[in-house]
Every structure is written in structure tokens, then in C-alpha cells.
Amino acid sequence: MWAFATVCTAAAAFGAVQNATMTDARGEQILNQSCSSCHELRNVDTQALDKDGWTKIVNTMIEKGATVKADDVPGFVDFLVRKHGPLPEGAGKKIMLNICTQCHELERVRMEAQDRDEWEQTLVSMQNEGAPLSDDDFPIILNYLVRYFGPPK
């Protein structure tokens, strides 16, 4: 009985991971087909909206003629929240949206939990890769990353 329950739980977890992956693939497809037909995808990268915000935007775009199936809307909104979702308010938010999202999705930053030295090394590395981060903005984004995306306290 225990083994059966374990197998069922594992199968359900695997299915959930598979569905999330399919949702991301479908989300990318919708983004590339429906959104980019009228907008540069940079518009999406710099929004950082919550579920309500993305729902409103998606519904407005559908009213204006975007081709998104009604069945796809909830998954697409979830995709947008995961990949381009809200950020904490703070001085570094604008910098993150304008600089970091030129190369990275917000989800990638959220997955990190680095301390001050690690974030500083990351930022220096990004500058060396060509990120247009000014000397004035460097301490602002560093403090923002440490405060909101540092290790749990």
C-alpha cells in the first residue's frame, strides 16, 4: 500500500512538472505569435505585472484583435506572471526592468538567492559581458538585489 501511494504521488508530481513545462512552451508560442505581431517583446519584459495586471492586459489585447484562445488565457497569464511577474517596489526596480531584462527573464533573478558579495560579483560579470549598468546605478541595483533576492534570513 505504501509503495502504491509513493508511486501515485511521484506520478502526480511528474505530471505537474510536465504540465508546467507544456504551459511554458505554449506561453512562449502565444507570446511569439500573438503579442509580437503588434508589439516588440521588450514591452512585455519591462511590465512586471501581477496576475490581475496581466489578465487585464491580455483581455484588452484580445478585445483589440489578438488571437489567444479563451482556453489558453489562464495558462498564458500564469506564464506571464512566472516569467514577467511583479517585482518589489524600490529604487532598483526600474534598473532591473530596463537593464537586467535586456538579457534575462525576471524568473531567473527570482531563482537566485545570493548574498551581497555574490550579487556584486554577478553584476561585475554582467558589466564585463556588456550590460549597460552605470557606476551610479550599480549600488542601487546591488542594494535592491541583496534586499529582495538575497538568502532567506
Domains recognised in the chain with CATH numbers: 2-84 (1.10.760.10), 93-149 (1.10.760)
- Cα distance from N-terminal residue to C-terminal residue, the chain: 40
What pLDDT does 121 receive? 97
pTM over 0.95: no
What pLDDT does 5 receive? 41
What pLDDT does 93 receive? 95
What pLDDT does 22 receive? 46
pLDDT less than 50: residues of the chain: 1-22
Backbone angles phi, psi at 66, to 5 degrees: -65, 140
What pLDDT does 56 receive? 95
CB 146 within 8 A of CB 131: no
Distance CA 68, CA 56 (A): 14
Mean pLDDT of the chain: 84
Q: Helices (H), strands (E): how many in the chain?
A: 8, 0
